[in-house]
Structures are given as structure tokens and as C-alpha cells.
């Protein structure tokens, strides 16, 4: 037995090494992939992604491919949920579904959304450019949603998630109204909705983002709790300009009365190219965008896995 004592340190070292190799590394948001998505959606080839245009159909195909590549299933028979004709063409929401793993909680649905349409080719030409590429509005939100979707699909989650790229937001939230009405027949139990809207540039404030409809639920406080930082703040102008009613969260709140909000970093002071041909890829801060996703991961985990519905409407 004494002759074997010298093996003990080697055995312990081997065990330690084995344990080290099984340590799970933190999830890494792919800034390069996010940047590539943003760059594609804002390319002149897509002609500003007007609903019903050939350009937005190219965008729909691109987003559909991302869902396929990450084994995110279509919610309907196909990813493209036909909305209606615009400009002699067809508009689509692109809808993916990730089923939860918990026998009970998988029946509760979390919606993550962003509109991928913009206003197309405009009459006001600036320096020979008439294509409103819509980088901040809302290729940025759509690119962020692709990375959020990849994260959700990368691991088991107790709740189910709808991943929705909305069309015709710029026409009056028509894509969101259409989908909200269409889902009524399925009698789904919606838990909460986080819609990504204009997140391409940072604010000069002591918080990174704000939530529309800040006072309608406790979602801002819960996100700050989950992320352990002052991630969401209150922007008075979101109330002044009634931004809660201005994006794709609103039709779902209106129809189903659950915490459905948009998250944004556009504060009217930090970006002057709203609906302008100069809303271009080069003006976006992709490092900031990737950090937004990274910071949100703990909140997404809690939305998808908390044992009870912790995000609630305020009375």
C-alpha cells in the first residue's frame, strides 16, 4: 500500500482537471452575427423594407433562415404569417416558436418581438439618397431579437416563447393587430411581452433603456432586479408622446390585458434621423447593442423560468 501513496496527488490532479473541463462557460452574444444582420437589413438592396415590397420579402427570408438555422420552429404551418397586400405585394410577420419543457409552465407564453419593416423609398432626397434604410428604426431592434432568439433556443426553458418579427408597424401596427387577432382562437396564456424598438445608439443618462408604459406594470423594476443594475429607467417623454401605444406591444395589451411593453434607447435627444434617409448602418453602435443583449440575459432567463408570474400589471 505504501508504494501507491505517490499516485494520490496525480489522481487528485486528474480529477481536478476533469472537473475544470466540464465547467460551463457563460453564454457569449455574437456581436459579429448581430452586426451582419443589421448590415444586411439596412442594405440598399432591400430598398428601405417597405411592407409589400421585394426588399422586405428579402428581409423576411433572411430572418426565416436565422430561425431555421437555430432550430426554432414555425408557430404556424410556415414561418411567414401572411398579413395582407401592400404596394401590389404581400406582407408577412415572421413567427417562430420555442416550446417550453415544463409540463405546466410551457402553456404560458412569453412574446419577444420587433418590427422589421420601415418606410421604403421617400420623396425627400438627401445627397442623392432616397432610400430610408431604417437602421435604428428598426433594423436595430430586429438584429437584437435575432440574438435573443438564439439564446432562448440554446437551452431548455420552462415557458414557451413566441419570436415575432412584425411587418407593417409603420402602417399603423397592422402586423401586430393581425397576429393578436389570429392568436385568439388558440386561447393562449400570455405571461409577458418584450418588444425591441430603436436600440441602436446609447442614451446619455444614468440608465441604459426605458420601457414604454412604465407605470402599467412592474416590469421595469423586475428587469432591474434580474439584471442587478439600473438597466431600465423612466423617460417622461414616453408618457408625453404616448409611446406605449406607438409600437407592436400595444395591440397585445389591448386585446389580452397582460404586461406587454416595448424597450428602447431612443430618447429624442440622442438620434436625429428618425424616418430619415440618414438612418444608416454606419451610425449604429453595435457594441452597445450586443451589450444590451448580454445585460438582458438574466432577465430573459427569469421571464422564461420563474416558478410564478412575477411580472404583473399594476392595479
Does residue 237 lie within any of the structural domains?
yes
pLDDT at 18: 42
CA dihedral 188, 67, 159, 244 (to 10 degrees): -60
Residue 231 within any structural domain of the chain: yes
Is 19 a domain residue? no
187: its cell numbers:
386561447
Using DSSP, state whether 218 is helix, strand or coil.
coil
- Supply the range of the domain harboring residue 68: 29-304
Confidence grade of residue 84 (pLDDT, cut at 50, 70, 90) = confident
The cell for 198 is 430603436
Is 76 within the bounds of a domain?
yes
For residue 23, is it within any domain?
Answer: no
**How many domains does the chain divide into?**
1
Q: Is residue 3 part of a domain?
A: no
- Percentage of the chain lying above the pLDDT 90 cut: 87
Quick one: pLDDT at residue 315? 86
Q: What is the CATH number of the domain that holds 223?
A: 3.40.630.10
Query: What confidence score (pLDDT) does residue 24 get?
Result: 61
Residue 14 lies in a domain: no
Q: What is the mean pLDDT of residues 207-221?
A: 98
Beta strands 189-196 and 209-211, pairing class:
unpaired
| Domain contains 18 | no
Q: What percent of the chain has pLDDT over 70?
A: 92
The Cα 176–Cα 277 span in angstroms is 25
The DSSP call for residue 135 is I
Residues 199 and 294: their CA atoms lie apart, in Å, by 14
Amino acid at each position: 500500500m505504501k508504494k501507491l501513496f505517490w499516485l494520490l496527488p496525480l489522481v487528485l490532479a486528474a480529477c481536478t482537471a476533469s472537473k475544470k473541463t466540464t465547467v460551463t462557460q457563460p453564454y457569449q452574444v455574437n456581436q459579429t452575427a448581430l452586426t451582419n444582420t443589421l448590415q444586411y437589413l439596412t442594405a440598399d438592396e432591400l430598398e428601405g423594407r417597405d411592407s409589400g415590397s421585394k426588399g422586405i420579402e428579402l428581409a423576411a427570408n433572411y430572418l426565416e433562415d436565422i430561425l431555421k438555422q437555430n432550430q426554432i420552429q414555425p408557430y404556424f404551418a410556415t414561418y411567414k404569417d401572411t398579413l395582407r397586400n401592400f404596394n401590389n405585394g404581400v406582407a408577412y410577420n415572421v413567427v417562430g416558436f420555442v416550446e417550453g419543457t415544463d409540463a405546466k409552465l410551457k402553456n404560458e407564453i412569453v412574446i419577444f418581438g420587433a418590427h422589421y419593416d420601415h418606410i421604403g423609398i421617400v420623396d425627400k432626397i438627401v445627397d442623392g439618397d432616397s432610400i430610408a434604410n431604417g437602421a435604428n428604426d428598426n433594423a436595430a431592434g430586429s438584429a437584437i431579437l435575432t440574438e435573443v432568439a438564439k439564446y432562448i433556443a440554446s437551452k431548455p426553458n420552462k415557458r414557451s416563447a413566441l419570436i415575432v418579427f412584425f411587418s407593417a408597424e409603420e402602417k399603423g401596427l397592422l402586423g401586430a393587430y393581425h397576429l393578436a387577432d389570429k392568436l385568439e382562437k388558440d386561447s393562449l396564456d400570455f405571461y409577458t411581452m418584450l418588444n425591441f424598438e430603436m436600440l441602436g445608439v446609447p442614451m446619455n443618462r444614468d440608465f441604459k433603456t426605458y420601457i414604454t408604459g412604465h407605470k402599467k406594470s412592474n416590469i421595469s423594476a423586475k428587469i432591474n432586479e434580474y439584471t442587478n443594475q439600473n438597466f431600465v429607467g423612466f423617460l417622461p417623454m414616453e408618457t408625453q408622446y404616448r409611446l406605449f401605444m406607438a409600437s407592436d406591444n400595444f395591440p397585445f395589451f389591448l386585446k389580452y390585458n397582460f404586461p406587454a411593453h416595448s424597450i428602447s434607447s431612443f430618447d429624442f435627444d440622442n438620434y436625429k434621423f428618425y424616418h430619415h434617409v440618414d438612418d444608416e448602418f454606419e451610425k449604429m453602435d453595435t457594441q452597445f447593442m450586443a451589450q444590451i443583449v448580454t445585460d438582458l440575459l438574466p432577465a430573459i432567463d427569469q421571464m422564461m423560468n420563474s416558478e410564478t408570474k412575477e411580472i404583473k400589471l399594476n392595479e
